[in-house]
Chain A
């Protein structure tokens, strides 16, 4: 197994001290993911490094950060895919949220908005396999139809969105308007709206989207959709909400 000697420049911040970047060099296997390099820094070099992670397979959404300025999940990003072999890998926390320490940001405002969107994280599943968030992954595997087992009324699965807040960090409107609901929360409103029939719930969700800091604040940068590791397409969902809001305005006349 070949090893890589990877230099990392990691953002550091502890209360009362000025923020700065620390440089470390770690040895990781060539098949390592970025999270393995961060683990190596903490385990072998600096125990004071604070960072988030839990599942290591893009289901919890907790490890999100920026590598060389671009938002991604280090648990599914291989070192070889982001490292040019020479310059240090620069790790920074997400943008648009207050930094708690090092690579950890305060996501309370994010989760407040996700709660307000009231999207349940499970939904009805597709009736064909394979499923993937990566087009390329499934392009080689022909899809097959699936039959439900007799005792199940439906298949279900978790929503694509893992609440990693990458889209919130990438969004330029989030950078300029603190109260903007944000792509993840607006996409969640769209999903919640799709999953309910109750007119009262629909009206409530649409009024949230229609609000002062809702869908109309989006300026079509589409950065959220580009950065999302789970193919949620928040920009598309924001536009779909707009379409519905406009259609309803016309119908009322």
Chain B
């Protein structure tokens, strides 16, 4: 008996990690992506491998998930990460007052945290604001979302998955109240074809609502964009975060020869074309200057913006698998064989994929456990070979 065929729409971190998990569990997997791998939200993310520190006060569940996945990714993709740890720094009195709760939060969420004397931290990060009042070191890291996705997909391909880039879902094939496949247009040739599936997984990020609409289903999605500014030089070796509750422009992520300041948040009409508001860029520079004053003299190399796939009303239509992402089973909307995943962050993509794959297994009556925690990923270069 042939194993079930699962079709995944979207090759961002959600689609890539889910394809990987399902392929390892023996499903026949096809990934349909209308652009290049990670050409949507995932590609333009902040590249931060979260330690969980950012959430350790306000959202324990997210924080614990982050630190757990952080350690797993260090095992399965060791050569794709910059591992220089990160700092949470206090610049203002309000930041300083947050320190106690932050350290408590780290302890509760088992995030290793080290309180560093100011003199020591300025030797470690010479461009840090010399007025820094306190600093805590945590195991933040840096990844490249593009190669992150390529590595998952390369491994999935080695296990039989078929990944079709530049292919767009233009419609669904239905039989009574069930999705049995998709109509796909190969954008390289203009030709269309139909691909059958036992289950379609919608992992299209901010375009998930658009895809779901093609199946006659509504998702309360609110594409919410954010701007990031990449400098022409790298001013920090370690990730630098503001020691306080999450806010705009409070993280500077270094990578290769650049430092990236981010991010902001505003709702966008059309996730296909986002106009970057200059005030947001200016705000990133101002916020970045507070952490690393030399930001004001550093030329800008690039700026990027992309929409996050946020959900308007969590809980009502969605089956909340965790606080961090949601899975809509459209059987409850009268459309079987079709589920949508929304939310999540790249750091925890593997964990999200594990839970989605568990749901897929249950729906398709398959009983195979997840093996993605241990298996080192194949070389990302294999994706193109």
Contact = CB atoms under 8 A, between A and B. Distances in A.
A203 interface: no
B82 A50 contact: no
Contact of A137 (B144, B145, B298, B381): B298
A7 to B, nearest CB: 18
Contact of B273 (A29, A40, A55): A40
Given A50-B187, A146-B125, A151-B114, A160 B237 contact: no
B38 interface: yes
B187 A101 contact: yes
A146 B273 contact: no
A53 B234 contact: no
Interface string B108-147: 0000001010001001111100000000010000001111
Contact of B379 (A115, A133, A152, A160): A115
B385 A111 contact: yes
B331 interface: no
B43 interface: yes
A20 to B, nearest CB: 15
Interface stretch (A80-88, A123-131, A171-179): A123-131
Given A55-B144, A101-B188, A152-B85, A50 B256 contact: no
A56 B304 CA distance: 6
A31 B281 CA distance: 11
Interface string B138-158: 000000111100000000000
A106 to B, nearest CB: 9
B234 A54 contact: no
B232 A60 contact: no
Contacts, number: 205
B79 A120 contact: yes
Contacts of A194: none
Contact of A54 (B145, B188, B298, B379): B145
A18 interface: no
Contacts of B298: 130, 137, 141
Size class of the B contact interface (CB-based, 8 Å): 35 or more
B297 interface: yes
B230 interface: yes
Contacts of B83: 156
B92 interface: no
Contact of A158 (B37, B82, B238, B306): B82
Contacts of A14: 188-190
Given A52-B39, A56-B304, A60-B146, A129 B126 contact: yes
A82 to B, nearest CB: 15
B294 interface: yes
Contacts of A160: 256-257
A54 B36 contact: yes
Contact of B381 (A1, A100, A115): A115
B260 interface: yes
A221 B303 CA distance: 33
A51 B35 CA distance: 7
A210 to B, nearest CB: 23
A145 B126 contact: yes
B295 to A, nearest CB: 10
A244 to B, nearest CB: 25
B302 A75 contact: yes
Contacts of B75: none
Interface in B362-385: 379, 381-385
Interface string A107-136: 110111011000011100100011111101
A137 B127 CA distance: 15
Contacts of B114: 151
Contacts of A58: 230, 258, 301-302
A16 interface: yes
Contacts of B301: 57-58, 76, 134, 137
Nearest to A140: B297
Contacts of A149: 85, 116, 124, 137, 238
A6 to B, nearest CB: 15
A184 to B, nearest CB: 12
A134 B231 CA distance: 11
A44 B275 CA distance: 13
Interface string B256-286: 1110100000000010110110100000000
B255 interface: yes
B44 interface: yes
B233 interface: yes
A152 to B, nearest CB: 6
B81 interface: yes
Given A50-B188, A145-B126, A131 B233 contact: yes
B237 A155 contact: yes
B357 interface: no
A70 interface: no
Nearest to A61: B146
Contact of A43 (B137, B147, B230, B272): B272
A29 B279 CA distance: 13
Contacts of B208: none
A52 B127 contact: no
B80 interface: yes
Contacts of A29: 275-276, 278
B123 A156 contact: no
Interface of B: 35-39, 42-44, 47, 79-85, 114, 116, 120, 123-127, 137, 144-147, 166, 187-190, 228, 230-238, 254-258, 260, 270, 272-273, 275-276, 278, 294, 297-299, 301-304, 306, 379, 381-385
9 contacts: A56-B304, A59-B256, A107-B384, A122-B79, A130-B127, A130-B294, A156-B84, A157-B256, A160-B257
